């Protein structure tokens, strides 16, 4: 039986309203199912379940009920991408009916007290936990980034239990919140010679097939990857393999040495990977596309560095007229890039930068897009699934994409 404090007893018994009591029941049940001893207070939550495409009318009804009952979120709460850019949804060719429903969802979340950040990379600016801080994140790529690259602690939440955590301001003390559950158990030795950033995403998809969701891989790389390489790796690992944490020896906070990453234990296995294994993913999962009608960059939402890199690759060339070249990012990054000299080059080339959304959660099948090139393996993994396989996708490096779609 899980121990709760007097204050938590009052929350559970309805002293703070029926929705707090419901949230507490869900959080306690989750804790009991995972043998937690107690709950722990949290100050930060990141919610998924924002795009009308993924949550539908049922979510609107639930949120309307909560708002009309006066629910207010206890934790500081940010929102994942919605199904459209709020100021440029017409340019994206998002249908009006979808747009109206999407606006209502975000308005309702805001009425509860959530911040309309609408990004899957809140850890860069808007909702940035410290090392060791316990949070409740519900976007899988943000979960793996927070655990592995920041060294914050979060379990992999779903949209409903993260919402309950935001209402109650508590989560069960279990899983990756506990130091003893954060040690690596499997070593991945990667010869990453000649890897582009997109290859790290493919590596994540390749390993997702081989690892159990509870595994915590410990990577050793021949050449030091960048933070953005590791972010691509994490997002893909979390997509195809439901992995919530990894270590990279010498880079990530809890892995100064192999011994520290493994907590002094022995790995159950060592997997050796090179470019051939990584490239095998392309034939296995993706289509070969002669010429795309759209290019999507920014999965996870593009950072300033990543957008600048696109600008530098352009060499003053323009995107071919028949191709939509779209970059997805947060409002914060977009505002920063607009005051950067590279923005003019990007704009003149015909590239559009959208905020608030991403290619996976837009109603893409209704926007006249059929053939997509992207450098993001997570997006490539989900687009065909979310678009009922009507859309074909191929992963390519940003360098190759820019070379082939400019003139």
CB closer to ligand F3S out of 150 and 345: 150
Closest CB 163 distance from ligand F3S, rounded Å: 17
| 332 token code pair | 């914060």
CB closer to ligand F3S out of 8 and 229: 229
Closest CB 68 distance from ligand F3S, rounded Å: 29
Closest CB 233 distance from ligand F3S, rounded Å: 13
Closest CB 361 distance from ligand F3S, rounded Å: 6
- Show contacts with ligand F3S in window 335-394 (CB under 6 A): 358, 360, 376, 378-379, 382
Site string (74-103) toward ligand F3S, x via CB under 6 A? ------xx----------------------
CB closer to ligand F3S out of 216 and 239: 239
Q: In this chain, which stretch among 70-78, 83-91, 214-222, 296-304 interacts with ligand F3S, using CB under 6 A?
A: 296-304
CB closer to ligand F3S out of 292 and 300: 300
| 329 token code pair | 């990012």
Q: Is 237 in the site for ligand F3S (CB under 6 A)?
A: no
* Residue 98 near residue 363 (C-beta atoms within 8 A): yes
CA gap 80, 301 in Å, rounded: 10
CA gap 379, 332 in Å, rounded: 21
* Residue 219 near residue 247 (C-beta atoms within 8 A): yes
CA gap 144, 128 in Å, rounded: 14
Site string (114-133) toward ligand F3S, x via CB under 6 A? ------x-------------
CB closer to ligand F3S out of 23 and 230: 230
Q: Is 157 in the site for ligand F3S (CB under 6 A)?
A: no
CB closer to ligand F3S out of 20 and 80: 80
Put residue 355 in one of left, alpha, beta given phi > 0 → left and psi -120 to 50 → alpha: beta
In order, the DSSP letters of 295-346 are EEEEEEEE-HHHHHHHHHHHTT--B-TT-EEEEEE-HHHHHHHHTSTHHHHH
Closest CB 245 distance from ligand F3S, rounded Å: 16
CB closer to ligand F3S out of 25 and 115: 115
Q: Is 235 in the site for ligand F3S (CB under 6 A)?
A: yes
The reply to whether omega before 129 is within 30° of 0 (cis) is no
| 164 token code pair | 């309950």
CB closer to ligand F3S out of 2 and 401: 401
Of 299, 395, 401, 405, which one interacts with ligand F3S (CB under 6 A)? 299
Site string (41-70) toward ligand F3S, x via CB under 6 A? ------------------------------
Q: Which of 48, 178, 183 is nearest to 105 (CA)?
A: 48
CB closer to ligand F3S out of 300 and 311: 300
CA gap 261, 182 in Å, rounded: 8
Q: Which of 363, 328, 355 is nearest to 97 (CA)?
A: 363
Sign of CA dihedral 133, 231, 181, 209: positive
Q: DSSP alpha helices (H): ranges in 176-226?
A: 197-208
| 173 token code pair | 């003390």
| 395 token code pair | 């992963």
Closest CB 360 distance from ligand F3S, rounded Å: 4
Of 156, 170, 247, 301, which one interacts with ligand F3S (CB under 6 A)? 301
Question: Buried b vs exposed e over 310-323: b needs ≥16 C-beta within 10 Å?
Answer: bbebbeebebeeeb
| 23 token code pair | 């949230």
Closest CB 358 distance from ligand F3S, rounded Å: 3
CB closer to ligand F3S out of 217 and 300: 300
Q: In this chain, which stretch among 94-102, 284-292, 297-305, 315-323 interacts with ligand F3S, using CB under 6 A?
A: 297-305
32: CB partners within 8 A, 6+ apart: 1, 2
197: CB partners within 8 A, 6+ apart: 226, 228, 229, 232, 375, 397, 398
Site string (130-149) toward ligand F3S, x via CB under 6 A? -----------x--------
Which residues sit at the interface with ligand F3S, rule CB under 6 A?
Answer: 80-81, 120, 141, 235, 299-301, 328, 358, 360, 376, 378-379, 382
């Amino acid at each position: 039986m899980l121990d709760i404090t007097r204050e938590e007893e009052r929350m559970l018994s309805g002293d703070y309203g029926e929705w707090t009591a419901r949230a507490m029941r869900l959080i306690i049940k989750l804790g009991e199912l995972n043998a937690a001893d107690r709950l722990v207070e949290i100050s930060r939550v990141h919610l998924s379940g924002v795009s009308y495409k993924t949550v539908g009318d049922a979510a609107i009804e639930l949120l309307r009920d909560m708002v009309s009952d006066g629910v207010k979120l206890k934790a500081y709460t940010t929102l994942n991408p919605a199904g459209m850019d709020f100021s440029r949804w017409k340019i994206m060719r998002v249908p009006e009916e979808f747009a109206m429903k999407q606006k209502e969802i975000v308005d309702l979340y805001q009425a509860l007290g959530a911040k309309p950040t609408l990004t899957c990379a809140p850890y860069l600016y808007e909702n940035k936990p410290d090392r060791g801080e316990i949070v409740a994140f519900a976007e899988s790529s943000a979960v793996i980034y927070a655990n592995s690259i920041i060294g914050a602690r979060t379990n992999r939440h779903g949209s409903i239990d993260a919402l309950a955590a935001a209402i109650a301001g508590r989560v069960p003390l279990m899983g990756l919140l506990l130091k003893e559950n954060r040690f690596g158990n499997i070593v991945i030795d990667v010869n990453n010679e000649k890897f582009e950033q997109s290859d790290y995403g493919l590596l994540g998809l390749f390993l997702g097939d081989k690892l159990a969701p509870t595994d915590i891989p410990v990577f050793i790389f021949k050449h030091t990857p960048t933070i953005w390489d590791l972010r691509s790796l994490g997002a893909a690992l979390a997509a195809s393999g439901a992995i919530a944490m990894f270590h990279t020896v010498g880079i990530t906070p809890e892995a100064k040495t192999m011994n520290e990453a493994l907590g002094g234990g022995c790995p159950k296995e060592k997997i050796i990977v090179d470019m051939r294994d990584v490239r095998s993913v392309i034939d296995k999962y993706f289509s070969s596309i002669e010429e795309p009608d759209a290019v999507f960059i920014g999965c996870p939402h593009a950072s300033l560095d990543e957008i600048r890199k696109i600008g530098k690759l352009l060499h003053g060339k323009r995107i071919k007229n028949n191709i939509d070249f779209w970059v997805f990012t947060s409002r914060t990054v977009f505002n920063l890039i607009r005051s950067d000299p590279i923005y003019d080059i990007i704009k003149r080339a015909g590239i559009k930068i959208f905020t608030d959304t991403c290619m996976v959660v837009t109603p893409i099948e209704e926007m006249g897009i059929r053939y997509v090139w992207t450098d993001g393996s997570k997006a490539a993994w989900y687009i065909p699934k979310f678009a009922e396989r009507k859309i074909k996708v191929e992963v390519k490096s940003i360098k190759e994409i820019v070379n082939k779609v400019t003139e």
